[in-house]
A and B are shown apart, each in its own frame.
Chain A
Amino acid sequence: MDTLFSALAVILAGGILPLLLYRRFNLMKASAVIAIATGSLLGLIAILPVMQDTGPPPSTWSWQQFLTLSCSIDSLSAFFLVPIFIICPLAALYGFHYMDKSEESWRVAVNYLCLSLLIVSMVLVVCAGSLITFALAWELMSLSSYFLVVHEFQKKATRSAGYLYFVFAQAGAMCIFAAFGLIYSVTGSFSFDQLDQLPSRIKMAVFLLALLGFGSKAGIFPLHIWLPHAHPAAPSHISAIMSGVMIKMGIYGILRIYALLGDTSLLPGRVILAVGIVSGVLGVVYALGKHDIKRLLAYHSVENIGIILIGAGLGMIGVSTGNRAMAIFGFAGSLLHVLNHSIFKSLLFMGAGAVLQKTGTRHVDDLGGLIKRMPTTGRTFLVGSISISGLPPFNGFISEFLIYFAAFQGLTLPGVSFLFASLAIISLAVIGGLAATCFTKVVGIVFLGEPRTAGAALASEVQASMTLPMLLLALFCLVIGIFPAPFVQLAVFGLRDMTVIGAIDPATGQALVADLAFAARLFLGILLGVMLLRRVLYARKEITSGPTWGCGFTQPNVRMQYTGTSYAMSVVEFFQPFVRIRTAYSGIRRIFPGQTTYETRVDDIAEIAMYQYLLQPLVKLLDRLRWIQHGHIQLYIAYIVLTIVVLLLVF
């Protein structure tokens, strides 16, 4: 435990040093990056002892009598610490050149402070050993990330995105605290113990409240609205951390509460699975419909949270029905996907950030041909795209395969559980196909073809501090894809202390994983062979270059290229009425048409529904109570006195 706390101290120092050094811009950034990287390395070392045995005993502090904080690490916490300590230092390094406005030195320093606070608070969230510690760490996490989102507060869009995020974070926290309050009202203690003793009805209520709260952080379907606004607003390395690591804290919360409650009825699993399927499919459909590259990636987070929850839901159903293989593979796939998603999603956000920095636009239809101008960014982004589409031989496939495997185990179950398992399989297949569609769109429109605007034509590669993290993350994607065994072991280790599953043989699934590794290597081998064959076929052949065949048209120009909008439209239309498409077309009425405009946008039904059925009635209701707020300070004091008197009389 001491190593972990010293790691946190070093990371915190990485936040405070910049405040002192802000006059020396480069030194300040270097000190922050070095401290955060050192702290993270220490943190990774701190996890090692947990892997061997049950880990260090919980550490506890008391202040006065009522506040007792405690921290402990079990295998699940240790697993979630891994992405935190891997992604955050890389993102901090990426930020070194991404935040290169030396005239805003002070704000960059504050940004580093909030970043280190965010890292520390995330570590505390996964290590929290009691309800109160968890709640405090959770709030610290929400607040520090809020300040990171509003870094560019001069822009109105950023401020409103920040406000939306704040509201969702606090509303979610309210649900979590309500769940904790419910627990406290029954057990009378803030401890995590004895939660499995709760009456089953209370358990259900706690679980559903926690699902609402953690789900809004994780971005499950109807509660995801803040994600596509907050991610484009935040600086790209912050988006990488938030999407890659922070939203996983919601997943951690769900798994932790589930493990603590030890509820083995079928309902939690089915709810989680249904939520996962809806988030997964609709997340990727909306991603197809969006053309702001960071917003699109945000919707992909919704999709991947869906996949993670499908795995978790299958695991829970496996626990309830006593199907152990299904339980283990479901949960292990879910955990591994947490790690995988943190790797490829932060890689993709960093790539998007590099594009944004060099071209000044996030709209895919204004880009094009960047792989020739930004070769490293382009190649690593391609790797990230294949990984997130879940295609072998990269890492996304390994975790999706484990989840598939769990679902197939579930097919032997009777009745409704069979239907749930088969729906999981079909939705995974559809999600996979649509994700590949979406990322061929991003890669094809942004990085391939010809540049569509001058900004894209003049782009150049970003600095080494930005390409290095991307290269490392791309390498991780490939390594996990080809050597999956230790990583699957890590995920299975993460389940060790979840008592609902029971003792797990650490060799579970190793034979299967060895087969997967074999298939990945076989594919690479065949690919290598074909590349050699191609080289032989092209030996001493004449190779020339010329313009693209325009199908008889001799004056093609770059604006004729297929756009992201047209590429995705037929798929998005297919999913109506779950998405709403608005089109404004001026039409062509004369033989020699003048200026013609065509505009189409895809609206999120969750946003529309929340506005129509929640926000508008609420505003209408609160409007009637306006008279309470009149601005007379005397009367406000009277309110306070009156409240105290009433409270004293009642209690």
Chain B
Amino acid sequence: MESFVSFVLALLLAPLFPGVINKTKAIVAGKQGPPLLMKYYTLAKLCRKGSVYSTSSSFVFKMGPTVSFAAALMPLLFLPLAGTAPVFSFHGDVIVLFYIMGIGRFFTIAAALDTASPFEGMGAAREAFFSTLAEATIFAVLILFYRMSGSLSFADYFHGAKAVSLAGPTGALLLFVIVAMFMVLLTENSRVPVDDPQTHLELTMIHEVMILDHSGPDLALIELGAFFKLLFYSVFITHLLQPLVPAGPLVNGLLFYGILALVYVAVGVTESTMARFKMNLVPKYILTSFTLVFFAAILTMGFMQ
């Protein structure tokens, strides 16, 4: 029950945090910026509207938002949130969940190609390529975590006695993971320096260009799905950063959301201080994150035989 409440709370808060990013960016730029609750207003507005569908598109185009939303929602059911155990968990769930996200991506890309638009094709090709590389980083992280905890589920990674933690004897290795996962977060969620969520020059975009033709509630599903996905990666990093405090669930919960907000602030600061990479630099950027984690995994050979 506690887990379920925590899960619903996280779902409700998901659109708040991107507001934090925008607020951070506005503050750094010396502007007032949109209100914190802006994303809620946008979602409500989209849900009130109807849709225009391209004559080129088929049923795959309509399935795109639905599948990608379901695929973004499901991982949160398996992730420990705010100090509570996840709703579901089993040995091996991490592999399943990253593949579930894969099917969401499959349909997003297919829907983009269904519009017969060259721009959307361009975005689709980039999304497919970059996320494949990011997958290598993610599985390297799983290798490292298996070496550290002997487990294959989020519940064991982040909750309970065996949890990986910076304070543990092998905690130093997690520094690599935090940096690498932050890089993956920026890649997978189409943030600067890989993609720019603000630009409206179609040639330079990845995610935004893929959803150009979606409108109304379909677009709302895509947006909300994107918030869930961002939340998933941010929670992943938050768990690595969160110290173990011998206090009640309320304190731990507040601490969790505090650190989570800081992760979003970090995204905002990165976005304000960096420019987007040229496309041909992005693979190198992602491979850097892979190298960091793989190096950490190799280091485990020194003290685990």
Q: Does B146 contact A (CB under 8 A)?
A: yes
Residue in B50, B74, B106 whose CB lies within 8 Å of A526: B74
Q: Verify A436–B47 contact, CB threshold 8 A.
A: no
Question: Which of B95-103, B185-193, B243-251 forms part of the interface with chain A?
Answer: B95-103
Q: Verify A530–B301 contact, CB threshold 8 A.
A: no
Residue in A372, A392, A408 whose CB lies within 8 Å of B103: A392
Q: Verify A429–B138 contact, CB threshold 8 A.
A: yes
* Distance between Cα atoms of A449 and B67 in the complex (Å): 19
Q: Verify A522–B88 contact, CB threshold 8 A.
A: yes
Known A429-B138, A430-B135, A567-B121: A408·B146 in contact at CB below 8 Å:
yes
Q: Does B267 contact A (CB under 8 A)?
A: no
Chain B hits for A408, CB < 8 A:
142-143, 146, 152
Judged by DSSP, the binding face of A is helix
Q: Does A425 contact B (CB under 8 A)?
A: yes
Q: Does A386 contact B (CB under 8 A)?
A: yes
* Distance between Cα atoms of A371 and B113 in the complex (Å): 13
Question: Which of A175-183, A227-235, A485-493, A531-539 forms part of the interface with chain B?
Answer: A531-539
Q: Verify B135–A404 contact, CB threshold 8 A.
A: no
How far does the Cβ of B266 sit from chain A's closest Cβ, in whole Å?
26
Residue in A389, A445, A529, A542 whose CB lies within 8 Å of B113: A445
Q: Verify B217–A448 contact, CB threshold 8 A.
A: no
Known A444-B109, A519-B96: A426·B139 in contact at CB below 8 Å:
yes
Chain A hits for B71, CB < 8 A:
523
* Contact string against B for A residues 255-279, beta-carbon threshold 8 Å, 1 for contact and 0 otherwise: 0000000000000000000000000
* Distance between Cα atoms of A392 and B92 in the complex (Å): 14
Chain A hits for B52, CB < 8 A:
543-546
Question: Which of B19-27, B123-131, B164-172, B231-239 forms part of the interface with chain A?
Answer: B123-131
Q: Verify A571–B91 contact, CB threshold 8 A.
A: no
* Distance between Cα atoms of A530 and B71 in the complex (Å): 10
Known A444-B109, A546-B52: A527·B102 in contact at CB below 8 Å:
no
Question: Which of A22-30, A555-563, A615-623, A627-635 forms part of the interface with chain B?
Answer: A555-563
Chain B hits for A283, CB < 8 A:
none
How far does the Cβ of B73 sit from chain A's closest Cβ, in whole Å?
6
Question: Which of A153-161, A293-301, A411-419 forms part of the interface with chain B?
Answer: A411-419
The contact size tier of chain A is: 35 or more
Q: Verify B54–A415 contact, CB threshold 8 A.
A: no
How far does the Cβ of A479 sit from chain B's closest Cβ, in whole Å?
17
Known A411-B146, A534-B217, A548-B56: A527·B113 in contact at CB below 8 Å:
no
Q: Does A390 contact B (CB under 8 A)?
A: yes
Chain B hits for A430, CB < 8 A:
132, 135-136
Q: Does A208 contact B (CB under 8 A)?
A: no
Residue in B60, B143, B146, B216 whose CB lies within 8 Å of A541: B216
Question: Which of A118-126, A238-246, A510-518 forms part of the interface with chain B?
Answer: A510-518
Judged by DSSP, the binding face of B is helix
* Distance between Cα atoms of A449 and B294 in the complex (Å): 40
Residue in B58, B66, B92 whose CB lies within 8 Å of A372: B58
Residue in B105, B126, B135 whose CB lies within 8 Å of A570: B126
Chain B hits for A415, CB < 8 A:
301, 305
Chain B hits for A551, CB < 8 A:
117, 119, 202, 212
Interface centre among A382, A449, A561 (most CB of B within 10 A): A449
Known A392-B103, A515-B91, A519-B96: A429·B135 in contact at CB below 8 Å:
yes
* Distance between Cα atoms of A560 and B121 in the complex (Å): 10
* Beta-carbon nearest neighbor of A414 in chain B: B305
Q: Does A549 contact B (CB under 8 A)?
A: yes
* Beta-carbon nearest neighbor of B98 in chain A: A429
Q: Verify A527–B66 contact, CB threshold 8 A.
A: yes
Residue in B66, B118, B202 whose CB lies within 8 Å of A560: B118
Q: Verify B106–A571 contact, CB threshold 8 A.
A: no
Known A448-B57, A545-B52, A547-B54; 17 more pairs at CB < 8 Å: A389-B106, A391-B99, A425-B143, A433-B102, A440-B113, A440-B124, A444-B121, A448-B113, A449-B115, A512-B91, A515-B92, A544-B51, A548-B116, A549-B213, A566-B122, A566-B125, A571-B132
A to B CB contacts below 8 Å, 7 in the list: A408-B142, A422-B143, A440-B124, A518-B88, A538-B50, A547-B56, A548-B117
Closest 6 CB pairs of A and B: A562-B121, A444-B113, A433-B132, A542-B50, A537-B217, A449-B116
